[in-house]
Homo-oligomer: A and B are copies of this chain.
């Protein structure tokens, strides 16, 4: 195989440049047509569908039901919310007309016509509209808990878009639940964080920290925001999912009341939780290398690709028949709960082009079969996680038994690699501001490589914010497994610490 890597620039040279190159070369997505808007290409979308199917299964198992709410939200709904919530975000797409008409000045041109009496906002989230529906649907305690989830596109105007990470339109799921008591709503908030954690770790092979956001980083209006945070290969944190307990504040503004068992009216307690196509970005930055994507088998649209190696056209038929036969055999085996996804690549292209395409696209196993392999009763297996993708010879009759085992090894290997990085690049011995600044002062701009996370005692003192801001560092979470020693002092201010925090640069 060529020594030169498939992706340029390399991660160590220019991490953001590498990310963009992988997204493009692996045909995952592209910014196109409208500034900040994204096309998710078939390979990327197939990964998203696999994520979605698995997460949807878990969401339904948790008791939530899917539904669909309108794309457009009356402007007046935001006026109620704007009053209720400080930090109300205002960058949203606004529909003001319902017609395209010919421009009288230039009949080749079209212009907006039919002005709306009330402008409509393209949903940045469906919080308000789902809340108002719940208010209508919930009458008594018998209707609770009401647990709804929606898979949808949402729009938030982005001034500095980045493919998959920060786009004007993105796809996500948003769960919204209403409960009779605070305890139930908090339990739901925590349960969904656990769903996200387990999904990230088992399916995406992406180890995460779980914890609560400090007050300043909470979702506007939330009483508690929990998140899962993953470490990317550049040492930065990416918030990969959030779950909020909203108390009764949101129920009050949407007027969601119920009759309790005593016949009294009460406001419900609500939660909301979501993940988005950002997870595709997280997946790439967790596992990708300088040759492209590396997909955990759980979310690989093809887990195995079979490439026939034919030099003499007369041999083509026999080799292609063998490729199809191996594919058929593999499709009858299983990985996890599903049939294996296998593609016999018989397209009219050269074998090296095919091989590199599947390496770039992150397929876990490429199996190559030539006339001599058939003679010898073997196939050549290239693992995406192996140094240089050197082929291993595998007995033909062992293929169906070995391949699922190899896929499990790869899935586990990606998780372990990422877990090792997270452990090794999290400093827990840093005790003062000087060491803290040295850790984060990497002299690099947005594109720089960061050393990783710092886990340290924190005072929550306002003065610490300014120090973090200067270093472009934030508290990612107050990890769930608090182990603050007695009499700790804040790593930033030297004041008494009240909590253990994880600090990092972040996406």
Contact = CB atoms under 8 A, between A and B. Distances in A.
Interface of A: 32-34, 37-42, 45-46, 48-49, 65-75, 77-79, 82-83, 90-101, 108-114, 119-122, 129, 132-133, 136, 142, 148, 152-153, 155, 157, 168-169, 171, 347-349
A110 B114 CA distance: 21
Contacts of A96: 94-97, 112
Nearest to A137: B41
B121 A100 contact: yes
B41 A67 contact: yes
Contact of A71 (B37, B40, B113, B348): B37
A78 B132 CA distance: 35
A78 B79 CA distance: 33
Contacts of A349: 142
7 contacts: A39-B67, A45-B66, A46-B65, A90-B101, A91-B98, A95-B122, A99-B157
B66 A46 contact: yes
Contacts of A101: 90
Number of copies of this kind of chain in the complex: 2
A76 to B, nearest CB: 8
Contacts of A99: 90-92, 94, 157
A159 to B, nearest CB: 9
A128 to B, nearest CB: 9
A110 B78 contact: yes
Nearest to A29: B68
Contacts of A78: 100, 110
A129 to B, nearest CB: 5
Given A92-B98, A94-B112, A148-B42, A153 B71 contact: yes
Given A33-B70, A33-B132, A71-B153, 9 more contacts: A34-B70, A41-B67, A71-B169, A72-B93, A72-B155, A93-B120, A96-B96, A99-B157, A153-B153
Nearest to A93: B95
Given A37-B72, A42-B66, A73-B33, A157 B347 contact: no
Interface centre among A72, A93, A114, A133 (most CB of B within 10 A): A93
B71 A155 contact: yes
A380 B38 CA distance: 54
Nearest to A90: B100
A447 to B, nearest CB: 27
A98 B108 contact: no
B65 A129 contact: no
Nearest to A141: B348
B94 A68 contact: no
Nearest to A38: B70
B347 A142 contact: yes
Contact of A70 (B32, B79, B98, B119): B32
Nearest to A153: B71
B94 A95 contact: yes
A71 B97 CA distance: 16
A118 to B, nearest CB: 9
Contacts of A113: 90
A92 B120 CA distance: 13
A422 B46 CA distance: 39
A304 to B, nearest CB: 18
Contacts of A33: 69-70, 72-74, 77, 129, 132-133
A97 B100 contact: no
B83 A108 contact: yes
Given A66-B49, A70-B34, A347-B142, A95 B98 contact: no
Nearest to A49: B66
B65 A42 contact: yes
A72 B113 CA distance: 17
Nearest to A68: B40
Contacts of A121: 100
Contacts of A111: 75, 119
A67 B45 contact: yes
Contacts of A94: 95-100, 112
